[in-house]
Structure 1
């Protein structure tokens, strides 16, 4: 008899900036699926009084704090945006704690499966850094679509938008770790249809794993 699976089936959602990750995860939530968000975990990891914030101050100095003693995110972004070495030092502090917080949240989740929203999955070590992920769903969008969404959403110019896109992993790097892909260039109704299909698929995969069966091949939407 196969050994019982105690951890929930975990699907990671990842994608580049302005690819539509938030719209996608909201649709999973509407279907009753728990979403563990790396962005929320990252804020928790550097909250006032945390080990993470203390390590950041030790590494970068107290000028990265605001007047209330919290992390000044804008100042931190300016500090690391054009400095790859500084960005790597920051990631070395924050990423391990984010991984631990996400894993704990996923382990505590109920339901047929759980979604872990990890925007920087490819940048943060991919599957090697998150060995407990069962499946990776990449929300993909052409660079032109990302640029247009960024300029409209954030009110920035195309030069800054291109710098933001270039600072992340390439589309090819993200797609190389994908089990499933949604090319998010259509309507919200089309996105709903993709999510409905994937939700049904993930429920089957989760039930199969719980029964000790192997996962089915990758799919694309």
Structure 2
């Protein structure tokens, strides 16, 4: 059985930098955000379902999902967010499972900003939180995404509070320094995960 590690963190915490490092070690990465884009790509049945539910305005001129318009809509209407999730989450979960099972590496990492919120942690054997102070998150997100302060605050508000994530995580990586500090912590975890994966595949005595 494949040993699956969940990797999460709030906006601006450094999830992508961390998952990129694991990928460089030869570990297969299944990214929930990437999967969420794949299942609603142009021509996918799920896109037609979203259009049918919300209206033609959710499709842009290129025949693709108008993410910005939909994001603004669900930010202003919590019930619309629940409706969208009811349509998309089962398909996202099924595709994540498919990709996890097909992964060919000593262990596999499921990267998801909403790992705990969506119950995706139920698919994993171990969970690591890439952690940073809320102030650092705001600073990095504004530099990286050129998003407004209000947009960043809305995203932070929709994610599980930092303290709750810490309680759910098996491993916590504090990303409050330079890259070498981050990589040092990841290297230690990588060795542990290799051991866990090896133990998980050994037949019982």
1:14 corresponds in structure 2 to 8
Q: Is this contact kept in 2: 1:137–1:179, CA < 8 A?
A: yes
2:168 corresponds in structure 1 to 177
Q: CA deviation at 1:173?
A: 2.6
Instruction: Give SS of 1:136's match.
Output: strand
Q: Are 1:186 and 2:177 an aligned pair? A: yes
After TM superposition, list the pairs within 5 Å mapping 1:48-197 onto structure 2: 48-127=42-121, 131-197=122-188
Count of matched residue pairs: 204
Residue 29 (structure 2) aligned to one of 23, 32, 35: 35
Q: CA deviation at 1:126?
A: 4.6
Task: Output the CA distance in 1 between the equivalents of 2:31 and 2:150.
Answer: 29
User: Alpha carbons of 1:157 and 1:66: their partners in 2 closer, same or farther (altered >3 Å)?
Assistant: closer
Q: Specify which structure has the higher proportion of helix.
A: 2
Stretches of structure 2 that go unaligned for 5 or more consecutive residues are none
Deviations 1:104-151 (A, max 9, x none): 111111121011111111221253xxx331111111111111111122
Instruction: Give SS of 1:13's match.
Output: strand
Task: Output the CA distance in 1 between the equivalents of 2:7 and 2:86.
Answer: 22
Q: CA deviation at 1:51?
A: 2.2
RMSD of aligned alpha carbons: 1.4
Q: CA deviation at 1:88?
A: 1.3
Q: Is this contact kept in 1: 2:174–2:182, CA < 8 A?
A: no
If the length of structure 2 is used for normalisation, what is the TM-score?
A: 0.94
